[in-house]
Chain A
Amino acid sequence: MIDRIPILQIGDFLLITIQVDMHDQLALTLQDDLTSRIEKTGARGVLLDISTLDVVDSFIGRMISNISAVASVLSANTVVVGMQPAVAITLVELGLSLPGVQTALNAERGMELLRAAMDKEAAGDAVGQ
């Protein structure tokens, strides 16, 4: 069993691909790791790829919400990509709507969203000067 999920840095963004059936501690470690990575790198965006996750229960759902919220406080946008249909249907039935979490169909779209958000913020900053 692996003990931490790797976080890749691509320019201004951090990319996390979840490919294992995570036990709770792994999810908590990921949150911590990501928080310190965002701080260290000043990343502006986080891409969380869950396309190989075939189960998302309330614990993982909470992890996703937390990651999104914490990243936001640290001035980074988060996009969750690749949610499987069966997972989406189950989450809805479970009663988890993940408010405030941005999603996209795949990594490509996710990156577009992150770049667009970044550009918009840059434009906003420029106007304010």
Chain B
Amino acid sequence: MQLVSDARIELSSEPDIVRARQLVRKLAQDSRFSLVDQTKLVTAASELARNTVKHGGGGYMEMELLADGDRHGIRLCFVDEGPGIADLDQAMTDGWTSGGGLGLGLSGSKRLSNEFDIQSAPGAGTRVSITRWK
């Protein structure tokens, strides 16, 4: 496991969502992911970054390069200290939304990734991580 950079990528406003997309795209490109895999990762990142900004009250993203024997992958973590999610099962259901969205952010990101993990509770913020293997 290797953190791509020590810096966390701040996600506090809309331009940060675009920036996050571009950084993830560059990392996936440099790691020679196929175009489709790149697109899936960037799209999932966009969904989660937006969640962090719009519902999490802002937070940050971390990018990690993974190497497991001959497998190579990218893990992205999205962390915020916002209100947290009370009912995770409900939040992960397609179409469910707490406000103004298509409600595909969490479940969609899970479908677009090889691995998905979420930790969230009311008052304890949210931490979502997704992994895409080459």
Complex A–B touching at CB under 8 A: yes
- Check B21 against A21 for contact (C-beta < 8 Å): yes
A61 CB contacts on chain B under 8 angstroms: 102
- Give the interface size class of chain B: 20 to 34
- Check A54 against B39 for contact (C-beta < 8 Å): yes
- Check B108 against A95 for contact (C-beta < 8 Å): yes
A87 CB contacts on chain B under 8 angstroms: 39
- Check B42 against A55 for contact (C-beta < 8 Å): yes
In this assembly, does B38 line the interface, its C-beta being within 8 Å of a C-beta of chain A? Answer: yes
Most buried by A among B21, B22, B43, B102: B43
**How far in angstroms is the closest Cβ of chain A from B31?**
16
- Check B15 against A23 for contact (C-beta < 8 Å): yes
Q: Is the interface of A mostly helix, strand, loop or mixed?
A: helix
Instruction: Report if A95-B35 is in contact (Cβ < 8 Å); known contacts: A21-B18, A90-B112.
Output: no
- Check A24 against B40 for contact (C-beta < 8 Å): no
- Check B46 against A57 for contact (C-beta < 8 Å): yes
Within A47-99, the residues touching B (CB, 8 Å) are: 54-59, 61-62, 85-87, 89-90, 93-96
Instruction: Report if A55-B108 is in contact (Cβ < 8 Å); known contacts: A23-B18, A25-B14.
Output: no
- Check B38 against A86 for contact (C-beta < 8 Å): yes
Within A8-60, the residues touching B (CB, 8 Å) are: 21-25, 54-59
Number of interface residues of A (CB under 8 A): 23
**How far apart sit A86 and B111, CA to CA, in the bound complex (Å)?**
15
**How far in angstroms is the closest Cβ of chain A from B115?**
15
Instruction: Report if A58-B108 is in contact (Cβ < 8 Å); known contacts: A86-B36, A89-B36.
Output: yes
Contact of A96 among B17, B35, B104 (CB under 8 A): B104
**How far apart sit A54 and B26, CA to CA, in the bound complex (Å)?**
13
- Check A94 against B111 for contact (C-beta < 8 Å): yes
B108 CB contacts on chain A under 8 angstroms: 58, 93-96
A89 CB contacts on chain B under 8 angstroms: 36, 39-40
Contact of A90 among B14, B15, B36, B94 (CB under 8 A): B36
